[in-house]
């Protein structure tokens, strides 16, 4: 590998996929075919790509999947009715409504309608609350759960560590904080949650043993903001203009990789870092949802 300090998200995701595949096989032997229902509204190109990647992961692991594609003009009531039907089905153990939804639909109402027992994204308020309470009966959201797995399997100690989370989004920043503040040897971090109103963000970053960048600002984290030897996790996916590419754009993370990589102790590439982990955790959550269904 070109950089000796890379956290290989693809390899770690493969480990988790192997574990999940074994659980899926076990479920099938016990008569349950784990099933994941995707709901996609409209033709957002990124959503199509994401759902496609998740469908392929299901197929690889033996998870049955279905994708319900609804037109952009779908009303909130229609979408909620579909979710109710999926909630009631014995066939689909997990339900994933792909964000973003069209602006005439209130996303929070939709995510709260998915049964907490099928909420493999971990977006339902009850699961958000259980995460903060350290109650393991809920679903851990895929991206921050994937970041924690990256840290654990890369032997990055968070116990007693100073962690800075950049970005207070509902999908990554907030649940990341909930995960890492728990009283557990795999958490136990002192977490500072920074955001657009933070005045001393560079100072916070420079003190951190671990920085998790998830604010959606292209290449925000620069080398001079990183303590030598710190672990840097890049969750960002930002499309920026770029000369010489097919569509005139490229994807970059929230970390200035070229600058930060020589300073960091460990760092995730992007792509190939957090992204594969998100899918690995989604598959694992789906196997778990099917196990919970079987145990009922």
Among 133, 229, 242, 245, binds a copy of itself (CB under 8 A): 133
d(C-alpha 74, C-alpha 216), whole Å: 28
Binding window for a copy of itself (CB under 8 A); candidates: 31-39, 74-82, 97-105, 199-207: 199-207
d(C-alpha 96, C-alpha 110), whole Å: 11
Catalytic-residue membership of 121 = yes
Cα 38 to its chain centre, rounded Å, is 16
**Contacts with a copy of itself, 245-274, as mask; x by CB under 8 A:** ------------------------------
Q: Is 68 one of the binding residues for a copy of itself (CB under 8 A)?
A: no
Diameter of the chain by CA atoms? 56
Binding window for a copy of itself (CB under 8 A); candidates: 43-51, 64-72, 88-96, 158-166: 158-166
Nearer to a copy of itself, 181 or 260 (CB): 181
d(C-alpha 237, C-alpha 252), whole Å: 6
CA-closest candidate to residue 281, choices 151, 147, 98:
147
Catalytic-residue membership of 25 = no
Which residues within the stretch 90-119 sit at the binding site for a copy of itself (CB under 8 A)? Answer: 108
Among 40, 54, 204, 284, binds a copy of itself (CB under 8 A): 204
Q: Is 192 one of the binding residues for a copy of itself (CB under 8 A)?
A: yes
Helix, strand, coil percentages for the chain (3-state, nearest 5):
40, 15, 40
* Bond before 264 cis per omega within 30 degrees: no
Find tokens 């995701």 and name the residue: 13
Q: Is 193 one of the binding residues for a copy of itself (CB under 8 A)?
A: yes
Residues tagged active-site: 54, 98, 121
């Amino acid at each position: 590998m070109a950089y000796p300090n890379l956290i290989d998200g693809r390899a770690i995701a493969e480990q988790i996929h192997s574990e999940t595949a074994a659980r899926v096989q076990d479920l099938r032997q016990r008569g349950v075919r784990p099933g994941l229902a995707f709901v996609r509204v409209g033709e957002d190109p990124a959503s199509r790509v994401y759902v496609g990647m998740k469908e392929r992961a299901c197929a690889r692991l033996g998870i049955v999947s279905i994708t319900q594609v609804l037109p952009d003009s779908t009303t909130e009531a229609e979408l909620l009715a579909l979710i109710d039907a999926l909630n009631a089905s014995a066939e689909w153990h997990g339900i994933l409504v792909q964000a973003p939804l069209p602006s005439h639909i209130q996303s929070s109402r939709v995510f709260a309608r998915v049964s907490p027992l099928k909420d493999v994204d971990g977006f339902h308020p009850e699961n958000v609350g259980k995460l903060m309470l350290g109650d393991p009966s809920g679903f851990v959201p895929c991206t921050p759960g994937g970041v924690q797995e990256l840290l654990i399997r890369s032997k990055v100690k968070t116990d007693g560590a100073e962690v800075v989370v950049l970005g207070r989004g509902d999908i990554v920043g907030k649940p990341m904080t909930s995960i890492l503040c728990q009283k557990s040897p795999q958490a136990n971090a002192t977490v500072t949650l920074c955001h657009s109103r933070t005045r001393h963000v560079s100072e916070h970053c420079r003190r951190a043993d671990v920085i998790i960048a998830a604010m959606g600002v292209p290449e925000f984290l620069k080398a001079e903001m990183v303590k030598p030897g710190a672990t840097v996790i890049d969750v960002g996916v930002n499309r920026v203009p770029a000369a010489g590419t097919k569509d005139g754009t490229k994807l970059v993370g929230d970390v200035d990789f070229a600058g930060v990589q020589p300073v960091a102790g460990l760092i995730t590439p992007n792509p190939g870092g957090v992204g594969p982990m998100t899918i690995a955790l989604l598959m694992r959550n789906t196997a778990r949802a099917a196990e919970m269904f079987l145990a009922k």
